[in-house]
Amino acid sequence: MGKNVIEVSNVSRMFQVPGGEFWALKKINAAVPESSFVILKGRSGSGKTTLMNIISTLDNPTEGEVRIDGELVKDLSDYKKEEIRRRKMGFVFQAVSLIPSLNAFQNVEFSMRMAGIAPGPERDKRIEECLKMVGLGNRMNHMPAEMSGGEQQRVAIARALAHRPKLLLADEPTAELDSAMAARVAQLFGELSKKEGITILMTTHDVGLMGAADFLIELENGERIDV
């Protein structure tokens, strides 16, 4: 294993709620090495989305610190964080998150534009490659509204990895898919992490998918329980 892409040390996250404080995360430590496919597991309310938000730099921990690709996140400006998100990360969300006014090809192309990859045949080839990887090579010109939920989610995956991010974050990407499709997505993540050298962190509560991952991080009541 190479160096760690994600390093989480002593991260706690407190929310102010009526009647006091609520600690969604308590002193979490985790390290995710390069090219690994990791599943973040836990029930609803276990704190996995909170941890995911902190790792994706959308949220800040109350205590502790996070390093992404060696950079200490809390030292970064908002702008720098946005730059990291658009260049080094790819996102797949639970809900369908394609831009409705763009077709499959343009949706994938868009993340490459965001990452500042210059236009040209290279870029177009990469887009086609990614769409083929998720099995949608023949639906490149379709609009999101013309595709099923699973197909849309696969476009989202293609979009998340097209610009060759260091880290792909997927928050419950299989929640709205049937189990066969969910298994295919998990398998795809496993293959991609090796083939593309991308570190993939996925949250799910679907026990059937755990086998595809290199290892698991399990949360319960804001605490890590797998170690």
Contact 63, 35 (CB under 8 A): no
By beta-carbon proximity to other proteins, the closer residue of 4 and 103 is 103
Task: Report in angstroms how near the CB of residue 54 gets to other proteins at its nearest.
Answer: 11
Task: Report in angstroms how near the CB of residue 82 gets to other proteins at its nearest.
Answer: 5
Task: Report in angstroms how near the CB of residue 175 gets to other proteins at its nearest.
Answer: 9
- Amino acid making up residue 72: L
Chain centroid to CA 125: how far?
A: 23
Calpha distance 195→155 (Å, rounded): 18
By beta-carbon proximity to other proteins, the closer residue of 109 and 190 is 109
What is the number of other CB atoms lying within 10 angstroms of the CB of residue 12?
15
Calpha distance 13→181 (Å, rounded): 34
By beta-carbon proximity to other proteins, the closer residue of 14 and 102 is 102
- Residue 8 tokens read as 């989480």
By beta-carbon proximity to other proteins, the closer residue of 86 and 139 is 86
Calpha distance 157→134 (Å, rounded): 8
By beta-carbon proximity to other proteins, the closer residue of 27 and 113 is 113
Q: Report CA dihedral (209, 197, 104, 85) to the nearest 10 degrees.
A: 100
Chain contacts with other proteins (rule: CB under 8 A): 53, 56, 58-59, 79, 81-87, 89-91, 93-97, 99-102, 106, 110-111, 113-114, 119-120, 123, 145-146
- Amino acid making up residue 21: E
Phi-psi region of 172 (alpha: psi -120 to 50; beta: other; left: phi over 0): left
By beta-carbon proximity to other proteins, the closer residue of 59 and 71 is 59
Task: Report in angstroms how near the CB of residue 58 gets to other proteins at its nearest.
Answer: 6
Calpha distance 211→209 (Å, rounded): 6
Task: Report in angstroms how near the CB of residue 61 gets to other proteins at its nearest.
Answer: 14
Task: Report in angstroms how near the CB of residue 114 gets to other proteins at its nearest.
Answer: 5
